[in-house]
């Protein structure tokens, strides 16, 4: 404490303290918690933990959108057209033993055999889908269901000499709720996929019947609820969004809520526009003439058609809402 400070205190004067510099917080604006961000819900869950509680509902709602929403239907179809189109072709590139020129005869034979196997009776265990159609369905399943699954069956079908065929399965067959014994001590089940200590899939738990196939009860019942397939016999296609993610989610998940509300808004706007365009006006006269009305089950039935003028009974009034639709906002 200095001499000047002691003198000022003895005569009853206090020195003015120096203002401290403002404390600056060194953090991200997106992490600040305030009254403006109190409704911003976030979690620290892993990718599988977030998917586990929402996967089934996301698939169901995504498929409903594809069925009834023209925008979602066209988005799925556009993806199929841009990725698959008329089919992904195989071109053999075998070269001659001497030189770098291609062996045209061998390449033509390989491509011929490949085209023969791609027929529905050879490549599909059910003999229904050609390889091109499987490509089309697989690419369509990615935006709609989030993933596509194939089972590799190592035996010939339909008279083919190639001991290989595919069985395409919907994502619902892979039981995301299965929790059972594992093949090794360090393994664990992740939504129907058994992974080892490194996260590598080693086995898949498939349901023997589609969980939504409840209309056909006369089908033969099986004692086993699940069939377990090794990873080398399963093709699991999905685009992961985070590391250590073992199941795919529908691509429509960020726009589901907005698309649903928009579809309801469009429907309400169209109904409002039709109602506004149907009735031209109401007429009141002294005779009380009433037209275009009927009584059914003690209830008056009114029919509205475009360009209609309706008459009212004496003393009756009607309040017509101001229907200005479609408005500029729509």
Distance, CA of 28 to CA of 76 (rounded, Å)? 38
Which tokens in the block code for residue 303?
């029919």
Cβ neighbours for 295, distance < 8 A, ≥ 6 positions apart: 301
Among 193, 217, 213, CA closest to 205: 193
pLDDT of residue 284: 61
Distance, CA of 251 to CA of 189 (rounded, Å)? 24
Cβ neighbours for 192, distance < 8 A, ≥ 6 positions apart: 174, 175, 176, 177, 178, 204, 205, 206, 247
CB atoms within 10 A of CB 203: 19
pTM: 0.76
Distance, CA of 182 to CA of 126 (rounded, Å)? 31
Distance, CA of 216 to CA of 42 (rounded, Å)? 42
What pLDDT digit, counting tens, does each position of 191-232 carry?
Answer: 999 999 999 999 999 999 998 887 766 666 667 889 999 999
Distance, CA of 129 to CA of 41 (rounded, Å)? 45
What pLDDT digit, counting tens, does each position of 102-143 carry?
Answer: 899 999 999 999 999 999 999 999 999 999 999 999 999 999
Give the highest mean pLDDT range of 16-20, 97-101, 252-256, 267-271. 252-256
Among 222, 243, 236, 251, CA closest to 174: 236
What pLDDT digit, counting tens, does each position of 287-325 carry?
Answer: 555 444 554 555 555 566 666 666 677 776 666 666 665
Distance, CA of 168 to CA of 127 (rounded, Å)? 11
Whether the per-residue pLDDT at 98 is higher than 70: the answer is yes
Kind of pairing, strands 293-296 and 299-302? Answer: antiparallel
Whether the per-residue pLDDT at 96 is higher than 80: the answer is yes
Which tokens in the block code for residue 270?
């169209």
Whether the per-residue pLDDT at 282 is higher than 80: the answer is no
Distance, CA of 174 to CA of 52 (rounded, Å)? 13
Share of the chain above pLDDT 90, in %: 55
Q: Please name every residue paired with 284 in a beta bridge, in sequence order, or none if there are none.
A: 312
Cβ neighbours for 95, distance < 8 A, ≥ 6 positions apart: 101, 102, 103
Exposed / middle / buried, residue 142 (Cβ in 10 Å: 0-12, 13-18, 19+): buried
Q: Give the rounded distance of the alpha carbon of 268 from its chain centre.
A: 25
Residue 270: φ, ψ to 5°: -65, -45
Distance, CA of 302 to CA of 294 (rounded, Å)? 7
3-state helix, strand, coil in the chain (%, to 5): 30, 15, 50
Number of residues that make up the chain: 330
Contact (CB, 8 A) for 279 and 304:
yes
């Amino acid at each position: 404490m200095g001499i000047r400070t002691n003198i000022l205190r003895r005569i009853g004067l206090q020195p003015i303290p120096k203002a401290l510099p403002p404390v600056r917080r060194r953090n991200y604006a997106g992490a600040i918690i305030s009254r403006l961000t109190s409704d911003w819900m976030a979690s620290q869950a892993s990718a599988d933990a977030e998917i586990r509680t929402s996967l089934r509902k996301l698939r169901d709602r995504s498929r409903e959108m594809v069925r009834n929403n023209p925008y979602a239907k066209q988005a799925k179809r556009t993806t199929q057209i841009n990725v698959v189109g008329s089919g992904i072709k195989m071109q053999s590139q075998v070269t001659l033993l001497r030189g770098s020129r291609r062996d045209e005869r061998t390449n033509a034979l390989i491509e011929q055999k490949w085209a023969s196997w791609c027929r529905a009776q050879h490549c599909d265990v059910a003999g229904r889908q050609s390889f091109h159609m499987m490509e089309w369905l697989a690419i369509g399943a990615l935006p709609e269901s989030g993933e596509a699954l194939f089972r590799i069956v190592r035996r010939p079908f339909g008279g083919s000499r190639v001991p290989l065929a595919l069985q395409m399965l919907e994502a619902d067959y892979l039981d995301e709720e299965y929790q059972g014994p594992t093949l090794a001590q360090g393994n664990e089940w992740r939504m129907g996929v058994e992974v080892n200590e490194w996260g590598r899939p080693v086995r898949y738990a498939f349901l023997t019947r589609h969980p939504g196939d409840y209309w056909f009860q006369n089908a033969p019942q099986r004692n086993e609820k699940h069939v377990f397939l090794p990873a080398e016999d399963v093709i699991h296609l999905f685009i992961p969004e985070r590391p250590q993610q073992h199941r795919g989610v529908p691509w429509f998940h960020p726009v589901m809520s907005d698309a649903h509300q928009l579809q309801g808004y469009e429907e309400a706007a169209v109904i409002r526009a039709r109602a506004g365009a149907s009735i031209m006006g109401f007429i009141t006269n002294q005779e009380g003439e009433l037209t275009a009305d009927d009584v059914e089950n003690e209830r008056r039935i009114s029919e509205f058609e475009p360009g209609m003028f309706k008459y009212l009974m004496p003393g009756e009034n009607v309040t017509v809402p101001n229907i200005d639709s479609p408005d500029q906002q729509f």
